Structure 1
Amino acid sequence: WPGSEVELEYRRPKYFKNYDHDFPYFERVDGVVNWLLLPYDQRPRFLTVYFDATDTYAHKYGPNSDSTNHSIRQLDEIAGYLIDELTRIEMLDSTNLIFVSDHGMTQIDKSKYIDVDALLPGEKYDLWGWGTYALIQPSKGDVERIYQKLKASEKNYRVYKRNEIPDFYHFSSNPFIPEIVVVTALGWEIGAASGRSGFEKWGSLGNHGYGKDELDMHGYFVAMGPSFKKNFRTGTLWNIDIYPLLCEIFDIPVRGGVDGKGERIRFVLKKY
């Protein structure tokens, strides 16, 4: 899993492999199965495995491309292989499986680039971010003027002062957030004039990181196993709620200070 190489002893799992982007997919599944074949008192209870194919190909060729559809078929085959292996070792009926993505994807193209420098000629400011948002810190005393200039040109983006950022972003209370935040519309990128060439060179035809309520940004959640209802279909779930869901399955307390809420998702469990 990406991040498995982090050197934090108090957070390191008992068994792990350093993330290798090029490690063959079938061998990743074999590694999970081998851990499940350990003696019961040594066997891990929670295992994760990551596959990048749909993200990689959707970024490069776009979410509606033949290449992305091929990657979906590839991962469907991998999921089938995992289920077949769990069946072979007689553990499928005692294993909860969750297939989840962390975001969706939308089509982009190099013509949809918002040049902040072109909107603010002659102004002095610091700019962070290149992609679906921009963080702008004007020189002292210039906040209102720069904000009004951006507001006057507001097309394919929304601009907010830090204290006006909508609460659903959960992004306004930290003092390190700059005075102005710009969020792009679906399919648009934003950055400095110098960033345009990098964006065009990147050549991506798909991206994510847009508003959470855009359907293109929605991922998927598919679960099966002894803890879950069968043939149950539901509406939108929040991926931040998966952590408290896992805690409920394992009957362990939820760590304090997290945004996820078990009451928004636990209805998918068989016991409710």
Structure 2
Amino acid sequence: VFCSNEKDEYVILVSFDGFRYDYTDRFELPYFDYIEEWGVKAKSLKPIFPSFTFPNHYAIATGCYANKHKILGNQFKNELGEYSYKDKNSVQDAKWYGAEPIWVTAEKNNIITATYFWVGSEAPIGGLYPTYYKNYESGINPYKKVDQAIDWLEYPVSSRPKLVCLYFNEPDHAGHVYGANSLQVNEEIKASNDILGYLLKSISKLDIFDKINIVIVSDHGMADVGKERIINIDDFNIPGIVDGEGPLMSVKLDSNINFKIDDLAIPNVSIVSSANNDILNYHNPIYDFLLIADEGWMMYRNNHLKAYNNNLPVKGMHGYSSDYMNMHAIFYAYGPSFRAGYKIDTFELIDIYPLICSILQIKPYNDIDGSLDVFKTILK
């Protein structure tokens, strides 16, 4: 599959943050429907654990679970210190990022790449950036991102990217603020369809249109939460440091305590090992165990609950086990590498990295978790 670049094809990778697998069932969405008819659609796309934005966008980029790619959350502490999506210094520091993202693999193979916001693309991972990239800023008009992608694809061939990654922050934001079943999320679903339509119309005018593959994904889904499903972790007197809030918390036990996971039982919470967890493919050695809430439940400390006035700061949340269907995302693909009108079953988003390597005809990084096997029926 990985040979000299005879196909000369392009990939546009598009992510709509928090676009749940079943959102496209709510309405007629002509551009998603067009791709379903003339390309490929998956039943759903299964995120890695934890089902947060940063770990999953970086899993899409690398084909690896969090224990290999090292981005354990949107914000987290580990043996390297403290990482936060809000902190430019950590976001742009390559020490945090394990494995090898697709733009680095491509650039190593002399393929030009471009990203308009993608987790990891602001850091010199392996000493390399995408040839063209943007530092994250909120509030950018989504149509401006599409225009920039088209502009890049109109560059002379010697400076034109073969891989363009585009990130859109809706419908995730609306899902958090208003809930997964809200009118506001429905509006953002329609807006995502409009953005996709604008992208399709724009690329159809390019000379290289018949060489462009579009891969449309999201990073996770969304579940409704409510104040009747709040767990106050301080009620359980855990002897140690408890970090985090919401669906996932991390516990570092006091050193003089002889305490085992079996000693603790919290209703609606799973308690699992934090280090070398092969089931979750998760590794954070500075904590002893993780608290993972059941879908729709939220965990807080007393100080959080006081700050939130015993209410919830959000109406929708993700980060729960990837086994819940409400955490699942979308996958659509269209272009010369894909057969038309094909459906495939649920697969894991770590498989997207080898898919893009295959289309670009480059050898994948040597230690990935993803596989090309799921795509055998849908690739030409």
Encode CA deviations 1:99-155: one digit per residue, 9 max, x unaligned: 1001010001233221111111xx53111121212211222342426x44522xx31
Assess, with a 3 A threshold, how the Cα gap between structure 1 residues 222 and 124 changes in structure 2: closer, same or farther: same
Q: CA deviation at 1:19?
A: 2.3
- Aligned residue number for residue 242 of structure 2: 127
* Partner secondary structure for residue 96 of structure 1: strand
- Aligned residue number for residue 139 of structure 2: 22
TM-score by length of 2: 0.64
The reply on whether 1:222 has 2:332 as its aligned counterpart is yes
Instruction: State the alpha-carbon separation in 2 of the partners of residues 32 and 181 from structure 1.
Output: 40
Instruction: State the alpha-carbon separation in 2 of the partners of residues 136 and 63 from structure 1.
Output: 29
* Partner secondary structure for residue 146 of structure 2: helix
Instruction: State the alpha-carbon separation in 1 of the partners of residues 314 and 296 from structure 2.
Output: 11
Q: 2:162 aligns with which of 45, 49, 52?
A: 45
One-letter amino acid matched to 2:155 = L
The 5 A counterparts of 1:22-101 are: 22-101=139-218
Q: Does structure 2 retain, via aligned residues, the 8 Å contact 1:113–1:196?
A: no
One-letter amino acid matched to 1:117 = D
The reply on whether 1:186 has 2:298 as its aligned counterpart is no
Q: Does structure 2 retain, via aligned residues, the 8 Å contact 1:58–1:105?
A: yes
The reply on whether 1:8 has 2:124 as its aligned counterpart is yes
TM-score by length of 1: 0.88
- Alignment gaps of 5+ in structure 2: 1-116
Count how many residue pairs are aligned between Structure 1 and Structure 2.
262
* Partner secondary structure for residue 140 of structure 2: coil
- Aligned residue number for residue 150 of structure 1: 264
One-letter amino acid matched to 2:280 = Y
Alignment RMSD (CA, Å): 2.2
One-letter amino acid matched to 1:160 = V
Identity of aligned residues (%): 28
Instruction: State the alpha-carbon separation in 1 of the partners of residues 334 and 154 from structure 2.
Output: 21
Q: Does structure 1 retain, via aligned residues, the 8 Å contact 2:179–2:315?
A: yes
My pick for the range that moved more, 9-18 or 29-38, is 9-18
**Quick check: which one's strand share is greater?**
2
Encode CA deviations 1:225-262: one digit per residue, 9 max, x unaligned: 00011100011011011011111111111112222222
Q: CA deviation at 1:197?
A: 3.5
* Partner secondary structure for residue 48 of structure 1: strand
Q: Does structure 1 retain, via aligned residues, the 8 Å contact 2:227–2:311?
A: no
- Aligned residue number for residue 104 of structure 1: 221
Instruction: State the alpha-carbon separation in 2 of the partners of residues 88 and 36 from structure 1.
Output: 11
Assess, with a 3 A threshold, how the Cα gap between structure 1 residues 223 and 188 changes in structure 2: closer, same or farther: same
Q: CA deviation at 1:18?
A: 2.1
Q: 2:285 aligns with which of 147, 152, 175?
A: 175
Q: Does structure 2 retain, via aligned residues, the 8 Å contact 1:54–1:68?
A: yes
Assess, with a 3 A threshold, how the Cα gap between structure 1 residues 5 and 168 changes in structure 2: closer, same or farther: closer
The reply on whether 1:209 has 2:319 as its aligned counterpart is yes
Q: Does structure 2 retain, via aligned residues, the 8 Å contact 1:161–1:179?
A: yes
**Quick check: which one's helix share is greater?**
1
* Partner secondary structure for residue 344 of structure 2: coil
Q: Extract structure 1 runs of 4+ deviating beyond 3 A.
A: 2-5, 161-165, 197-202, 264-267
Instruction: State the alpha-carbon separation in 2 of the partners of residues 94 and 164 from structure 1.
Output: 42
One-letter amino acid matched to 2:367 = G
- Aligned residue number for residue 254 of structure 1: 364
My pick for the range that moved more, 111-120 or 67-76, is 111-120
* Partner secondary structure for residue 21 of structure 1: coil
Assess, with a 3 A threshold, how the Cα gap between structure 1 residues 187 and 2 changes in structure 2: closer, same or farther: same
